[in-house]
Amino acid sequence: MYPAAFDYHAPKNVKEALGLLGKLKDDAKILAGGHSLIPMMKLRLAQPKHLIDLGKVPGLSGIKADGKALAIGAMTTHWEIESSSAVKSKLPVLAEVASVIGDPAVRNKGTIGGSLAHADPAADWPAAMIALGAEMVCEGPKGKRKVGVDQWFLGLMATALKERELLAQVRVPLLPAGSGAAYMKFPHPASRFAVVGVCAAVTLDKQGVCTKAGVGVTGAGTKAVRAKGVEAALVGKRLDPAAIEAAAQKAADGVDVQADLQGSVEYKSHLCRVFAKRAITEAVKRAGA
């Protein structure tokens, strides 16, 4: 199908983009990579009268390390993150996540900001952002504001991004020494979206005791969530196989698991536990290394 008719706008800076959003209001949609919006438009599930393309807006892409975090522009593509030497040296799990998104065409055009603003419940980035404690930098008519990841995902394709705002940057804290992180997912065979995906990040002290843990689960429910029960079961423990197994059993707790064409509630809950165990095991291995 072809999308309904629309007017195309290509602002040259953030101020111009925000001005268009303020003027066009609900009739406008932001175009980032387009891999989520364009298919919806073709199916007439979305029929914006105006598209505001951020592709020519400077300053919205790029990766910088400031000593405390990686600052990633919202228009940075998955491929740029996957291939970034800064990412590979500072937070390699982000390159790992990017590498399993869709296919090369999707990774070359799709953006991290577009994914996080769209908030597809089966997207890969949300689990990693939750596990790593990311912060979203939004820009609107009143300036910039920061939103922690635990306040970002509100529901099915719903986020804390306000009307007339843009997601400008994602800040991902660097892990301290003695840390490891890993992302594991069961991918849909066609779309490569996560039927269930789990990202785990752990920090171990010199005795091998977990002092900090972050675990994000995507794909299973209506939004990505923090697996608080798993985190609580990890902290303060020596993460041997038995402790990891016990913690992973809590992976579906607090998740609004949804049955769909990919599986029943019981099956997807099982996948949560299986992939939590795998992600934590690999994260612990990397922390020890």
Cα distances from 186 to residues 85, 166, 197, 283, in angstroms, run 27, 31, 6, 17
Cβ count within 10 A of residue 55: 15
Cα distances from 130 to residues 6, 163, 240, in angstroms, run 35, 23, 24
State pTM to two decimals. Answer: 0.95
Q: In what order do the strands lie in the sheet with 225-226?
A: 179-187, 194-204, 210-218, 225-226
Q: Which of 215, 208, 194 is nearest to 280 (CA)?
A: 215
Q: What pLDDT is attached to residue 192? A: 94
> By three-state DSSP, how is residue 215 classified?
strand
Contact 173, 71 (CB under 8 A): no
Q: What pLDDT is attached to residue 173? A: 98
Q: What pLDDT is attached to residue 289? A: 58
Contact 199, 215 (CB under 8 A): yes
Q: What pLDDT is attached to residue 34? A: 86
For the chain, the C-alpha Rg in angstroms (whole number) is 19
Separation CA 248–CA 157 (nearest Å): 26
> By three-state DSSP, how is residue 211 classified?
strand
37-63 pLDDT per residue, tens: 888 899 998 999 999 999 989 999 999
Q: In what order do the strands lie in the sheet with 63-65?
A: 63-65, 69-73, 166-173, 135-140, 143-148
Q: What pLDDT is attached to residue 234? A: 98
Token pair belonging to 228: 């608080």
Separation CA 277–CA 101 (nearest Å): 21
DSSP string, 127-189: HHHHHHT-EEEEEETTEEEEEEGGGTEEETTEESPPTT-EEEEEEEEPPPTTEEEEEEEEE-T
The per-type count for the chain, helices as H runs and strands as E runs, is: 11, 14
Residues of the chain with pLDDT under 70: 289
Looking up tokens 């996948």, which residue turns up?
271
For the chain, the straight-line distance linking the first and the last C-alpha, in angstroms and rounded, comes to: 51
Domains of the chain in sequence order: 7-51 (3.30.43.10), 63-173 (3.30.465.10), 179-288 (3.30.390.50)
